[in-house]
Amino acid sequence: MKNGSSEVVGISEPDRCGRDTPDLVHLLWEIMRKMIVWNVVTLDGRFEGETPWDLSFHHLVWGPELETLSLEQLREADMLVFGKNTYEGMAKYWPDAEAEGEVTALMNGITKVVCSESLERADWNNTTIIRDTVPELTRLKEQGDKPMYIFGSGKLIQSLMHAGSIDEIRLCIAPIVLGKGRRLFADEGATHALNLLESRPLQNGGVILRYEVNNQ
């Protein structure tokens, strides 16, 4: 700080020598918002059935416990992130949904981002299209302190995992082996170490898992 200015400018001389840099990096990491993946998957890792938007296995785990968790996550978030295909399905369903109560209001009201190089219009309320996915999401991540959630969006998740942008993975495991359909994590993906944060069984046989992604 110079001449009475309160602006934080770069790194001090001791930091350049490497003594304080880890603490500064840790502080910046603590105040940056988290990017969190949330999906319901089968025991064999499918987040979608054999046909697009086949989510019939969701009924195995949906109930008061999962509804409460969904509301908690939406209330704490201030941004949802989607790939093109997931966005189009969500945008078709939620604007006219009536039976979901507060979830509907939160889904329609929250800020949304769709990552696509080809989508020309995004008419769902409060939606922005971004083209250069990783740099743009990194910029948005640095601008807030509340979590940003990614729903569905398998291909997008793969790209962001590869870039080291995902901080946490939250899954609800449905008690079924589907045997076919789209896997959340493709076989050609890279290896990522995870740290278990929480494991919580549901009364209907599902299991909530929370993992921190080790991006070191």
Q: Per-domain residue ranges for the chain?
A: 36-213
C-alpha–C-alpha distance, residues 121 and 55, integer Å: 25
User: Cα dist. 43→77, 171, 182 in Å?
Assistant: 27, 11, 13
Q: How confident is the model at residue 74 (pLDDT cuts 50, 70, 90)?
A: very high
A 10 A CB-CB count for 117 gives 10
C-alpha–C-alpha distance, residues 146 and 78, integer Å: 6
Answer yes or no: is pLDDT of 21 > 50.
no
Evaluate whether the domain defined by 36-213 bears CATH number 3.40.50.300. Answer: no
SS3 call for 211: strand
pLDDT tens for each residue of 140-196: 999 988 999 999 999 999 999 999 999 999 999 999 999 999 999 987 768 899 999
Cα diameter, the chain: 67
Share of the chain above pLDDT 70, in %: 85
Answer yes or no: is pLDDT of 137 > 60.
yes
- When pLDDT is averaged across residues 89-117 and rounded to a whole number, the result is 92
What letters, b where the CB count within 10 A reaches 16 and e where it falls short, cover 141-180? beebeebbbbbbbbebbbbbbeeebbbbbbbbbbebebee
